[in-house]
């Protein structure tokens, strides 16, 4: 059944696939970006903490996840502390906890490992690690644990200013046999939408976005962009949208799948910026693109987490950019690169942050909501 196009979807299709030049489209998006965010481009100095590499899902593009027999395990407190200490010593503000979604639901070995650590669930262990990081270091925990119930978000909010859950795609086709989410129980889009709705109800700032390239048709891409924009207009907890381009990895189902790169990706970014609510930040991960220069003038205002000391455990073949070179590239576009916290300035208030987190955040920021020694570029 062919889905009837709306006025918005027609406009999205026109911008992404039509005759308007990429340069002109990017110029429109850049004007909107500068009206909302000035000449500032932000990034989050972080350390990457892979709390567990086990997961109940098996996605067709992922090399992060390992089964217990292939070495899947949990980091212990001491291992987490070593990473956090490195972050504290290298001017980081974010402790990014990346982990598989509740692996104990699939693997009895995961449950056994948790019990050996003194915990009954991945959620319980993650919360304790977030609590320890928040109290021992200047770092702010930010976690991507997968689906979250309301009571779980309430736990996270006590010790972190924000969290993350990628929507990835609104297409149901990706769960069909032979497709990337066929063996991924938690990737049902309605369940992921529910998590972000839970975050809105609890007043917990959320980062979300699309994984571009895991669908197959032009119609799916247009629909993904439209649904993302409509959902972002409705949900008040979304602080940031990530447009992440799928990168093919060896030894995965999608190892030979085409990637969305360069011109098409730039057009998607600009189109999203044009229709996205202006207060929502727009990020592209800089280690997943070939050259950052064109993307800096495509409508983005953020480059995501960049670590001075830890690799990108989800995309280990793609190194973080050198910060000096990145700063020079941003300067060349008459913009300014500054660090940020894992929570954006417009969410730094007592409505969205736990009282103790709010106090910790406000102790390190200036009047613009960024770390004190850096200035927002209007």
Instruction: Kindly give, in sequence order, each residue whose CB lies less than 8 Å from that of residue 367, ignoring residues fewer than 6 positions away.
Output: none
| Digitized pLDDT (tens) for each residue of the chain, 378 residues in all | 567 899 999 999 999 999 999 999 999 999 999 999 999 999 999 999 999 999 999 999 998 899 999 999 999 999 999 999 999 999 999 999 999 999 999 999 999 999 999 999 999 999 999 999 999 999 999 999 999 999 999 999 999 999 999 999 999 999 999 999 999 999 999 999 999 999 999 999 999 999 999 998 999 999 999 999 999 999 999 999 999 998 888 888 889 888 887 899 999 999 999 999 999 999 999 988 888 999 999 999 999 999 988 988 888 888 888 999 999 999 999 999 999 999 999 999 999 999 999 999 999 999 999 999 887 777
Q: Is 176 helix (H, G, I), strand (E, B) or coil?
A: coil
Q: Which pLDDT score, from 0 to 100, does residue 340 have?
A: 97
Q: Which pLDDT score, from 0 to 100, does residue 2 have?
A: 62
How far apart CA 123 and CA 240 sit, in angstroms, is: 24
Nearest of 1, 15, 6, 43 to residue 270 by alpha carbon: 15
Q: Which pLDDT score, from 0 to 100, does residue 291 have?
A: 84
Nearest of 305, 264, 300 to residue 282 by alpha carbon: 300
Give all strands (DSSP E) within the chain, no chain letters.
40-52, 94-99, 140-144, 162-164, 206-212, 238-245, 281-283, 302-306, 336-339
Nearest of 199, 197, 172 to residue 184 by alpha carbon: 172
Q: Which pLDDT score, from 0 to 100, does residue 249 have?
A: 87
Q: What is the pTM of this model?
A: 0.96
Q: Which pLDDT score, from 0 to 100, does residue 307 have?
A: 92
Domain boundaries, the chain: 7-362
Q: Is the dihedral of CA 310, 313, 315, 317 positive or negative?
A: positive
Q: Which pLDDT score, from 0 to 100, does residue 199 have?
A: 98
How far apart CA 260 and CA 247 sit, in angstroms, is: 8
Q: Which pLDDT score, from 0 to 100, does residue 1 have?
A: 54
Nearest of 272, 299, 265, 304 to residue 287 by alpha carbon: 304
Instruction: Kindly give, in sequence order, each residue whose CB lies less than 8 Å from that of residue 59, ignoring residues fewer than 6 positions away.
Output: 65, 180, 181, 183, 184, 187
Q: Which pLDDT score, from 0 to 100, does residue 45 have?
A: 96
Q: Determine how β-strand 238-245 pairs with β-strand 281-283.
A: parallel
CATH fourth-level superfamily of 7-362: Aldolase class I (3.20.20.70)
């Amino acid at each position: 059944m062919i889905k009837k196009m709306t006025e918005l979807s027609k406009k999205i299709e026109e911008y992404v696939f039509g005759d308007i030049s990429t340069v002109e489209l990017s110029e429109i998006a850049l004007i909107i970006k500068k009206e909302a965010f000035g000449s500032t481009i932000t990034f989050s100095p972080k350390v990457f903490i892979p709390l567990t590499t086990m997961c109940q899902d098996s996605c067709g593009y992922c090399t992060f996840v390992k089964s217990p027999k292939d070495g899947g395990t949990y980091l212990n407190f001491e291992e987490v502390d070593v990473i956090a200490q490195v972050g504290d010593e290298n001017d980081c503000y974010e402790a990014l906890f990346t982990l598989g979604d509740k692996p104990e639901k699939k693997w009895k070995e995961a449950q056994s490992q948790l019990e050996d650590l003194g915990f009954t669930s991945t959620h319980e262990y993650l919360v304790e690690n977030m609590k320890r990081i928040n109290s021992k270091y200047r770092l702010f925990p930010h976690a991507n644990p997968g689906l979250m119930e309301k009571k779980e978000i309430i736990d996270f909010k006590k010790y972190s200013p924000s969290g993350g859950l990628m929507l990835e795609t609104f297409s149901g086709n990706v769960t069909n046999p032979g497709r990337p989410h066929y063996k991924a129980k938690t990737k049902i889009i309605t369940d992921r939408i529910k998590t972000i709705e839970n975050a809105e109800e609890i007043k917990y700032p959320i980062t979300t976005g699309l994984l571009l390239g895991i669908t197959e048709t032009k119609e799916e891409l247009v629909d993904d962009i439209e649904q993302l924009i409509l959902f972002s207009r409705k949900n008040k907890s979304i602080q940031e949208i990530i447009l992440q381009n799928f990168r093919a990895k060896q030894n995965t189902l999608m190892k030979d799948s085409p990637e969305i790169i360069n011109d098409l990706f730039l057009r998607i970014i600009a189109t999203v910026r044009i229709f996205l609510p202006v207060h929502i930040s727009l990020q592209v991960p800089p280690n997943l693109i070939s050259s950052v220069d064109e993307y800096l003038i495509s409508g983005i205002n953020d480059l995501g987490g960049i670590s001075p000391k830890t690799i990108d455990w989800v995309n280990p073949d793609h190194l973080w950019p050198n910060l000096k070179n990145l700063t020079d590239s941003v300067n060349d576009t008459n913009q300014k690169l500054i660090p940020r916290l894992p929570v954006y300035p417009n969410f730094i208030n007592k409505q969205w942050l736990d009282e103790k987190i709010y106090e910790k955040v406000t102790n390190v920021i200036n009047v613009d909501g960024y770390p004190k020694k850096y200035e927002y570029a209007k």
